A = this chain, B = another copy of it.
Amino acid sequence: MKTYRLGLHVGLKEGVLDPAGQATLQVLHQMEFAATEVRIGKWIQVVIEAEDEVRALAIGDEMGRRLLANPVMEAFDVTVTPL
């Protein structure tokens, strides 16, 4: 077994309203930043043991589907880094 760090980006799907992002955009404008859109999601890092990188990616995908993302309104992607 090897050790891997999974990185999951979890964010609201396209078309789902992001009130926290809109609030942040408003503050960026008050600070005179020329931003046009802000989306706020989660960045979840999980350290796991797995046989190889392919298996680690499959575990990350299963974690996303079963626990870390809400399948109704969130999408996610997984990256794998060997430790």
Contact surface of A with B, Cβ cutoff 8 Å: 3, 9-11, 24, 27-28, 31, 33-50, 59, 62-63, 66-68
Chain B residues whose CB sits within 8 angstroms of the CB of A62 once the complex forms: 33
Majority-rule SS of A interface residues = strand
A-B contact pairs, 12 of them (CB 8 A): A11-B45, A28-B63, A31-B66, A34-B50, A35-B47, A36-B47, A37-B47, A38-B45, A38-B46, A40-B45, A41-B45, A43-B43
Q: Let me know if B39 and A42 touch, CB within 8 A.
A: no
Chain B residues whose CB sits within 8 angstroms of the CB of A39 once the complex forms: 44-45
Of residues A37, A40, A42, which shows the largest number of chain B Cβ atoms within 10 Å of its Cβ? Answer: A40
In addition to A31-B67, A34-B50, A36-B48, 15 A-B residue pairs with Cβ atoms within 8 Å of each other are A3-B36, A11-B43, A24-B44, A24-B67, A24-B68, A28-B46, A31-B66, A33-B62, A35-B47, A37-B46, A38-B45, A38-B46, A39-B45, A41-B43, A42-B42
